[in-house]
Amino acid sequence: MTKRRLKRQLGLAQAVMLGTAGTIAAEIFVLTGHVAGIAGPASVLALLLVGVEWPRGGYRVEFQFCLGELGATKSFYYMSKHHDGIRKKAAQAAGGAEAGTDAPAGEAEAPVGADTAASAKAEAELRVRLLAKAEAEAKAAAATAAATAMFKVADLRRPEDRVTVAQEDGRAVVGVVCPSGIGEATVTAAGAWPASLTVDLRYEADRPFRSLERFTCRVSKGPGEGETQGLPHRIIRGAGGAVTVAIDVPADVRGWRALRLGWIDAYR
């Protein structure tokens, strides 16, 4: 049985004409539909009276046809001013519907001037918040730099351990980050120690210690010097079970510069 096949009689010119006709015809149908929605039955009369207007405010769109090894590039003018108006009206209608849903019945729509004023006020408040945040960060950086100059940390057990010291409201806060849960460090002060210290123990920045089996703190006149004295301290369990240690520094040893800390979260 012989199979019937269609003959390839469509050339490049015919392909270009078909593509062009389809593209332009789609635009014409869209525009006539838009005119019909405005003029109604008088659409034909309106077209006769106005005539064919040269398109303005549109875009030049290029397209390419290929047929085997042959190819051709053509273009057409896409008149967008009618579509832009339709899109604008649709967006306004959608915005009005949303406003009508959110606002109480009978409430008048806010004028454009009020929206502009509200936007300017929001921008001003945002600038104030950003300035306040920048000032707070600058103060925190200055406090950190001052604390770094006043306190030196040494003799960490593991290289991944981190110990920082900051001064807050007349007391020193020692921040300890120890992933293993067991460690020690020596903190040396440039001057006298405050009357109270707080040690914040964490595995990571957002993961505090939940248990503390052992904590030691001894003070000496300097690093490596033999005479030491233990300091009284209290283990405090805060919100969520986070563990901190409050240390009292007697007046007679506040001038002793080296503070040796040791901690064990749980015996293995």
Q: Are 50 and 74 in contact (CB under 8 A)?
A: no
Q: Are 260 and 163 in contact (CB under 8 A)?
A: no
Which of 2-11, 12-21, 71-80, 135-144 bottoms out in mean pLDDT, i.e. has the lowest?
71-80
Fold type of domain 147-264: Jelly Rolls (2.60.120)
Query: CA-CA distance, 112 to 210, in Å (whole number)?
Result: 56
Query: CA-CA distance, 174 to 188, in Å (whole number)?
Result: 12
Instruction: Encode pLDDT of 172-185 as tens digits.
Output: 899 999 999 999 99
**Could you count the other beta carbons within 10 Å of the beta carbon of residue 203?**
16
Contacts of 105 (CB under 8 A, 6+ apart): none
pTM, full prediction: 0.45
Domain ranges in the chain are: 12-102, 147-264
Instruction: Encode pLDDT of 8-60 as tens digits.
Output: 777 888 888 888 877 776 666 666 776 677 777 777 776 666 655 545 555 55
